[in-house]
Amino acid sequence: MRNVIGRLAIEIGGTFTDVVLVIETEQGIKVNTFKLPSSRSHPEQPVVQAIDSMDIAPSELEEFLHGSTVGTNTVVERRGAQSCLVTTKGFGDILEMQRGDKEVIYSLLYKRPEPLIQRSHVYEADERIDRYGVVLNPLTDQDISEIVEQIRAVAPQSVAVSLLHSYANPEHEKRLYDAITTALPEVNVVLSSDTAPQFREYERTSTTVMSAYVSPVVGAYLRSLEKALKDRGFTGSFNVTQSNGGVMSCDLACRQSVWTLLSGPAAGVSGATRLASTSGYRNLITFDMGGTSTDVCLVEDGKPQLSSEYKVDGLTVALPMIDVVTVGAGGGSIAWKDEGGMLCVGPQSAGSVPGPASYGRGGTAATITDANVLKGIIRAKRSIGGDLRLSVERARDALAQAGAEFGQDPLEFAESIVRVANNNIAQATRLVSTYRGKDPRDYTLVAYGGAGPLHAAFVAEELDIPRVLVPIHAGIVSALGLMLADFRRDYAHTRVIELVEGSMEELRTEFRNLEQDARDELGISSDSGVTIQRCVDARYRGQGYELTIDLTGDEKSAAEIAALFNEAYANRYGYADQGQMIEIVTCRLSCVQRRDVVSPDILRFESRKGQVETAPVWHGGHWIDCCFYERADLGVGDSVRGMAVIEEATSATVVPPGWQARVDESGHLVITREGRQ
Amino acid sequence: MSVDPATFSIVTSIIVAVAREMSTDLLRTAYSSIIREAADASTGLLDRDGNAIAQAENIPIHLNSMGPALRECLKVYGLSELTPQSVLVSNDPYSGGQHLSDVFFFSPIFSGDEVVAFAGSCGHFQELGGSSGYNLRAQDVFQERLRLIPMKFELGRDWPDGMFARLIRGNVRSPREVIGDMNAMLAANKKGVVRMTSALKRYGKDTLLECMGGYLDYCERMLRDRIAQAPDGVYEGEDWIDDDGLNSGPIRIAVSVEIAGNEVHVDFTGTDDQVTSAMNCPFASTVGSVQTAVKMLLSDPDVPFNEGFNRPVHISAPLGSILNPRPYAPCEARQLPVIRSFQAVVKAFSKVLPEQVAATGYDTRTGIRFWRVLSEGGYEFHSDPLGGGYGANYYHDGESQLDDPLGNCRNTPAEAFELSQDFFRVLCFELIPDSGGPGKYRGGLGARRCYEILEDNIRFSWASDRFQHRPEGLFGGQPGTCASIEIHRNDDTIQLPSKGDTVLMKGDIVEVRIGGGGGYGPVEERLQSLVRSDLLNGRITAESARSVYGIEI
């Protein structure tokens, strides 16, 4: 038997499926990356295709890492598990009422996103527990059996149980769990006290319902994939990516599928963060531009910003997610004239079918890609996946037609489109930086995705960002993110603890319990390679909103925590209410286990000097000479000056005049203004 | 226009983005929860004539509030009198303002020595001297809040330590919060000035001025095109307020909307006279309400508002009516006439824009407030604003229990209330079957919310409406239900009027029943499958399935 270790990471996106295969043999390490078209109806198809086309046998794979859009699509298309919900009496309409606000403030015809469970499948339990966990109105066995009978009549796949204040005392939820699983063993029962034991009943209930709704579908998908792998001889470990940027085992993911929603952008951010850190860059704005949209995220000190809740199709999920801002600017974004005559680019996208006009697949709308093709930045001779050949003529026709509406010739119009698109991206970048009181000039812009490196330097110019980093294999950073990700789980629990020295034991107990949950779930017995982060959501007593404070490190006294809170408060709001009573409402613990199996170093290209080609490109109203380099031809220490385009299989990087790019020690391209470092 | 299309698109998007960035700064650094949490504040960029070019209004009621306030200031102060340190300020409802709680600050933006634009912000001050809380019984604005007629102060000289700061400090109960919020507004303005100054440097004064003017024209053009598509004619609408809170009522709001070519004339002749309570609506608020209705009905929700929208719309209301009160009628509680005038305008438009309007909704924000007196002095205060059912429309049923169309407040979770106090508990929050007006499409349902009082001597005040006047249906749709508030004490039930205050005792249960929205189209046209689904999901009762829709199940 050959001594081969293979690791395969496959990330399914909306348009493309990214594949990274790392093969270690005695001869060395080989990295193979490619893209396949995604299939919405048969998501497993490209995965199986990739496995069947590998250079090694599936039995030689030690690990398979996977991210997909199955969970998100399940929600968006409303084809999840038939589910029921049990709430506290008087709160059965919670899914319909949500929080009573609108997402579009100027709509008189507003329609809320459709709940995942209809009201007739919601049952109310006559019970009440208070915030201290004291039972005010006990749940009777009689009541439980009535609810069980009602559920039996519906014969659902899943039941979500979410009772008021269950984070303080899960007893009633647990009794319902026991009764339902005993009577209906095939039903998947999800408790809010397990899923999101935090206060705010709508958010907790919505998260629990989401879990009940997606778990059977995602679970079935993962199981069938697992079976397909095993049938082919795979015996390695199977790990799945989450929206917090970490991975977890397939077994856990089948039960906790709600953690896998919107995991694609998260994998990209954690991949970009990890890659940039190999060059020592830890304060980043990640910029991922694909075919339909752009995702940006702020990373501070190597930690991507997390939000403690997010929405999928308008429905709340109160679980941590990497906090990306998305705008409709991608290669396929269409240029159009609105009613008032304004030039707009996106959010409408030509996608991959029919795609930009230059794809020659029947698309006629002028897109950002067409503009870059006509400008000569994207060269027609480059293939972009499969046998697709770009047509400059079709790009010119589309741009001529759309440009005529503005009285511009095709080249002028191409430049207009790109300027507007770059501005849209710059504004999105402001949303994660200046809007949060951060100065983008203090960050490195990390560009990836098929189109990110094409636009990055211009966006940097717009925001006066001094440095752009284009990581190695920039077109498939999401899949690389999977390959490089750590195991991660987050836990949170609501309990009001007054911030006084006397209650510190209570706080210790809270964290001890959370840590025990983590160890049990992850099967961690030793501390090696495990990092635990402890945070609290705290507020001044009487306020309705909290700030998250990091308490990781040495144990802190109440006074020290209060000082940290006051400082964070002053940073956020400009002042602090010194002396005001502070209360902790939720404790958060995240547990990260290093998965140091692949070093980013192995991803480096072998330098193999090739031919530099020169061709004119349209820039700033003129044709100027541009050098075209092959990415693999540039070795560590090589540098190029603008105007240049550095091409690779899955992406291309533009170095504008006045900028230069250098390949750093880790193999990344670092682009800076000439004269600056 | 000599500016190329890309530059125009980019510069206007920068102006909009700057207005929004100012707003996030204001919300982030404000002291009071009404600004920070309820987002009752707005920011904007205005041209030097006082036209709002871009505004970040976080709630619709702030739309169009900036321009009128600045224009009144510019009547008093010429551009040449302004320095980079100048701030124009006003909260006067009789000089283009809303109500005294809404304070406006405007900072000039210079290109060299020339004022080219203004950065402005508006914040709602729950406390600004005068009466605390809403004083329905105020006899004039002077009893309501500190009144700041258009005036100018200079940073450095008058703020943060000079005369203007001392004037404010000496007239409010919680100077720290008030000054803090004003500082947040000044910080937002400063952000606007800095960002616009860098845009000036990058694109030049002429380009910027041309884009600002072009952007007004752009919004005007879009609105005129939409108006021109609607058939000419005069269309009428009306709605009612139960009472003025001092038991005088009902109050009629009447409007006639004339569409003539690509212009609209909105006139409120026939509207009742101003009232003696504080429920008067200053004219600038009436204008804002009409503009919001026009914007919602005639433009896409994601097109930002600017004052180009005002050009084709002409609004009048008789002086001395509740929608254009004479100086110095009190007007803190303007919210009800604002929303009712909005509804009257929507109703008038229903005759020409049947697919864009909705039937009248419950559309009232019911303010529920509980507080207790602390033994150490002061109060512990909890407020619970509740919306109601929306009217149905051409496309679908009305949504249930949303904040009114001019606000966007979230409801407060029962667990959030109970985690922060021990003197009341939320017993239920559930939709009321049959509260939505029947029709081809049903009005949204209102909700029932019950509170159990856990201590003696809890103060309770409430402000609601539509206890007597149901929201009407449209095109054969039937009206939604009225609201009610009751106290269940021992075995008694005490019916409360729509507005008032009282003291509660331990064991009392306060039951608030919010109304639903009106239906759209005749019930005969409702699909049987929708009736069955409503019944199955508890939105209607079996009785109404039978008696209203004639379906026996």
**Measured distance CA(B449)–CA(B472) in Å, rounded:** 23
pLDDT above 70 for A606: no
- Reply yes or no on whether the pLDDT at A464 is more than 80: yes
- Shortest distance between the Cα of A423 and any Cα of chain B, in A, equals 6
Mean pLDDT across chain B, nearest whole number? 94
Q: What is the pTM of this model?
A: 0.93
Chain A, 540-569: which have a CB under 8 Å from a chain B CB?
Answer: 541-545
Find, in chain A, the residue whose alpha carbon is nearest to that of B449.
A90
Residue B304 has pLDDT above 90, yes or no: no
Number of A/B CB contacts below 8 angstroms equals 186
The CA distance from B104 to B108, in Å, is: 13
pLDDT at A608 > cutoff 70: no
- For residue A286 the two structure tokens come to 């990640």
pLDDT in tens, B144-188: 999 999 999 999 999 999 999 999 999 998 888 899 899 999 999
Q: Average pLDDT in the A584-612 region?
A: 79
Tokens of B67: 């321009």
Interface of A with B in 407-466 (CB under 8 A): 408, 415-417, 419-420, 423-424, 427, 430, 434-437
What percent of chain B lies above the pLDDT cut of 70? 99
- How confident is residue A632, by pLDDT bands cut at 50, 70 and 90? confident
Interval A95-150: pLDDT, tens: 999 998 888 888 899 999 999 999 999 999 999 999 999 999 999 999 999 999 99
Up-side HSE of residue B199: CA atoms within 13 Å toward CB?
Answer: 29
Interface probe, candidates A84, A88, A105, chain B, greatest B C-beta count within 10 A: A105
What pLDDT is recorded for position B381?
A: 83
- Decide: residue B341, CB within 10 A, 0-12 exposed, 13-18 middle, 19+ buried: buried
Compute the half-sphere exposure of residue B357: CA atoms within 13 Å on the CB side of its CA: 26
Tokens standing for residue A70: 């199955």
Backbone angles phi, psi at B153, to 5 degrees: -125, 165
SS3 A481: helix
What does the pLDDT read at residue B29? Answer: 82
pLDDT exceeds cutoff 60 at A385: no
- State how far residue A318 is from chain B, nearest Cα, in angstroms: 14
Residue A94: closest C-alpha in chain B: B430
Contact A573 B430 (CB under 8 A): no
B539:A119 CB<8 A:
yes
Contact criterion met (CB below 8 Å) for A333 and A402: no
| pLDDT on residue B9 | 94
- Using CB atoms and an 8 Å cut-off, which of residues 571-630 of chain A contact chain B? 572-575, 585
Mean pLDDT estimate for chain A: 91
Please give the residue of chain B at the shortest CA–CA distance from A129. B415
User: What's the pLDDT tens digit per position in B15-42?
Assistant: 999 999 999 889 888 887 777 767 789 9
Is the previous residue joined to B250 through a cis bond, with omega within 30 degrees of 0? yes
Query: Is the Cβ pair B416, A109 closer than 8 Å?
Result: no
Distance CA A308, CA A320 (A): 4
Q: Quick one: three-class SS letters along B93-122?
A: CCCCCCCCCEEEEEEEEEECCEEEEEEEEE
Confidence (pLDDT) at A207: 97
Q: Is the pLDDT of residue B428 over 90?
A: yes
Q: Which residues of A fall within a CB distance of 8 Å from B415?
A: 131, 164-165, 199-201
pLDDT of amino acid A676: 63
Does the beta-carbon distance from B409 to A119 stay under 8 Å?
A: no
The shortest CB-CB distance from B430 to any of A90, A102, A106 is to A90
Going by pLDDT thresholds of 50, 70 and 90, the confidence category of residue A605 is low
Q: Which residues of B424-457 are buried (b: 16+ CB within 10 A; e: fewer)?
A: bbbbbbbbbbbbbbbbbbbbbbbbbbbbbbeeee
Locate the DSSP E strands across B135-287.
151-154, 233-241, 251-260, 263-267
Selected residue with higher pLDDT from B354 and A598: B354
**Whether pLDDT at B8 is above 90:** yes
Taking CA–CA distances from A122, the nearest residue in chain B reads B537
Provide the pLDDT for residue A383.
Answer: 62
Query: For B138-147, b where at least 16 C-beta lie within 10 A, e where not — what string?
Result: beebeebbbb
Are the CB atoms for A604 and A501 separated by under 8 Å? no
Report A:130-149 residues touching B (Cβ under 8 A): 130-131
Name the least confident of A313-317, A444-448, A597-601: A597-601
pLDDT at site B249: 87
CA distance A75 to chain B (A): 21
Residues of B in contact with A408 (CB under 8 A): 4-5
| A97–B447 C-beta distance less than 8 A | yes
pLDDT score, position A387: 62
Q: Is some CB atom of chain B closer than 8 A to the CB atom of A106?
A: yes
Q: How far is CA A46 from CA A242, A421, B449, in A?
A: 20, 31, 52
Of B7, B180, B425, the CB nearest to A575: B180
Residue A602 pLDDT exceeds 90: no
Which of B324, B513, B546 lies closest to B431 in space, CA to CA? B513
pLDDT, average across residues A460-467: 94
Q: Does the structure show a pLDDT above 90 at A450?
A: no
Inter-chain residue contact B9 with A343, CB threshold 8 Å: yes
* Range with lowest mean pLDDT among A532-546, B279-293, B434-448, B459-473: A532-546
Residue A359 has, within 13 A of its CA and on its CB side, a CA count of 22
Determine the distance in angstroms separating the CA of A135 from the nearest CA of chain B, rounded to an integer.
Answer: 14
Subunit contact B14:A423, Cβ cutoff 8 A:
yes
Residue A386 has pLDDT above 60, yes or no: no
Q: How far apart are CA A214 and CA A211, in angstroms?
A: 5
pLDDT over threshold 80, residue A601: no
Element (H, E) at A625: strand A622-630
Taking CB atoms and an 8 Å cutoff, what residues of chain B touch A203? 413
Structural contact between residues A238 and A250, judged by C-beta atoms closer than 8 angstroms: yes
Closest CA–CA distance from residue A401 to any residue of chain B (Å): 15
Among A341, A496, A572, the residue with its CB nearest the CB of B28 is A572
Residues in B touching A97 (Cβ below 8 Å) = 400-401, 411, 429, 431, 447
Residue A102: which of B29, B402, B412 has the nearest Cβ?
Answer: B402
Kindly report the nearest CA distance between residue B13 and chain A, in angstroms: 8
> Per the CB < 8 Å rule, is B393 touching A97?
no
CA B323 vs CA B14, B242, B253: distances in Å: 36, 16, 8
Q: What is the ipTM of this complex?
A: 0.92
> Chain B residue with minimal CA distance to A120?
B537
A421, closest residue in chain B (CA to CA): B10
Mean pLDDT of A437-448: 93
Smallest Cα distance from B258 to chain A, Å: 21
| Residue A482 vs residue B268, higher pLDDT | B268
Alpha-carbon dihedral sign for residues B31, B36, B41, B46:
positive
Statement: residue A490 has pLDDT above 90? yes
The predicted-structure confidence for A195-229, as pLDDT tens digits, reads as follows: 999 999 999 999 999 999 999 999 999 999 999 99
Angstrom CA distances, B385 to A428, B227, B412, stand at 33, 35, 8
Q: What is the arithmetic mean of pLDDT over A257-285?
A: 93
Select from A271, A216, A657 the least CA-distant residue to A449. A271
B34: three-class secondary structure by DSSP: helix
* pLDDT (average), residues B335-354: 95
Instruction: Pick the most confident of A130-144, A341-355, A423-437, B300-314.
Output: A130-144
Q: Decide if A339 and B222 are in contact by the 8 Å CB cutoff.
A: yes
- What the block records as the tokens of B296 is 């919602």
- High-pLDDT (> 70) share of chain A, %: 97
- Minimum Cα–Cα distance from B305: chain A residue: A106
Q: How far apart are CA A228 and CA A44, in angstroms?
A: 9
pLDDT in the model for residue B497:
94
Tell whether A496 is within 8 A of chain B (Cβ). yes
